[in-house]
Amino acid sequence: MTDASPSAALRGAVDLSALRNRRAPTGDAPVAAAVGSVASLVMDVTDDTFPQLLELSRTVPVVVDLWAEWCGPCKQLSPVLEKVVTELDGRVVLAKVDVDANPQLQQAFRAQSIPMVVALLAGQPVPMFTGAVPEQQVREVFAQLLQLAAQHGVTGTLDVTGDAGAEAPVPSEPPLPPLHAEAFAAIEEGDYARAIAAYEKALAENPRDADAKAGLGQVRLLDRIQGADLQAARDAAAAGPADVAAQFAVADLDLAGGHVEDAYERLLDLFAALPADERAPVRERLLELFALIGDADPRVIRARGRLASLLF
C-alpha cells in the first residue's frame, strides 16, 4: 500500500485482462444501478459480473474479499470487513468472491491462500492483506487505501438505493455462539491469550466444532507472530538450520505472509533432517499449519504426500 501507483502495486502478480472485457449474460443484474448508487455496499460478485466492478472502482475503491465456505478464518474476517465498509458510508464497497464458484477470479488474483483481500482502484488491483487480521489492522489498511484513492482522484460516494433491479444485499450473518463471540472480541482487542482460551473452551464443549478448531489455529498463529521481526527471524533460522524454534518462527511468518509452500517446505526439510525421536513437534506444527489452509488445497495435498513419504 506504499506505492503511489495502483497499477504498480501488483504489477505481474494479478492479470485481470481476461475478465475485463467479459459481458454479463443477458438478464444479470448490474453491480451498480447507476453512477453514484448501489443496492448494497456489500455484494456478491461472479466471474461474469466482475467487469462492472472494475468500472465501479473508478468511482470508489472496491475491496474484494476472496473466501470459501470451508474456510474458517474467512468466517472471522468477513464480518469485520462488512462492518468497516458499512461505517464508511458509501466511500468504499465490498465485493465478496466465492473462489470455489468463481475459478477465473481465483486464478486472476492468484489466490494461493484465503481469506485474501485485494482492492481495486480505477480498474487496477492493489494488495491489502492475506489471512484473518484484527479489526484495528483492517481499519488501518482501509485508511491507507482511502489515502491512495484520494491521490488518484477516486473520491466518489455511493448512495444505497435498494433497487430491485440491482444486486440484492447480502444476508446478515447469524449471531456467533457465545464463546466464538468472546474469542472474536478478544482478537479485535489484540488479546490473543483470551481468544485462545475461549476457543479451547468451545472445543472442550464440542470437539467437532470445526469453526472453533480453525479459529484456534488462526489465533495461535497471530499470537506467535505478534511483534516478530521477519529479518531477525530469518537470520536466526539461517544461523541454526536444526534450531526447531527458529525454523518454526520463519514458517509462521511465511504462512501469515501468504508464502504457504515456503512454510511447508521449510518444516518438511527440518523434519527430514532431524533424528526420528525429535520429529514429533515438527509433525504437529505441520498438521496445525495444514489445517489453517484446508485439506482440499493442492499445496496441503502435496505437503501431506511428502510428509507421508518421510514417515514411512
Counting Cα atoms < 13 Å in the Cβ hemisphere of 146 gives 16
The DSSP H or E segment spanning 55 is helix 50-56
74 catalytic residue (yes or no): yes
CA distance 184 to 235: 34
How far apart are the C-alpha atoms of 64 and 108, rounded to whole Å? Answer: 12
Amino acid identity of residue 103, one-letter, is: P
The 10 Å CB-count burial string (b at 16+, else e) for 38-62 is bbbbbbbbbbebbbbbbbbbbbbbb
- Dihedral sign (CA 172, 176, 180, 186): positive
Shortest CA distance to 221 belongs to which of 185, 190, 253?
Answer: 253
Pick the catalytic residue: 39, 62, 74, 77? Answer: 74
**Annotated catalytic residue, options 39, 71, 149, 183:** 71
The DSSP annotation for 8-28 comes to HHTTTT---HHHHT--PPTTP
Give the active site residues.
Answer: 71, 74
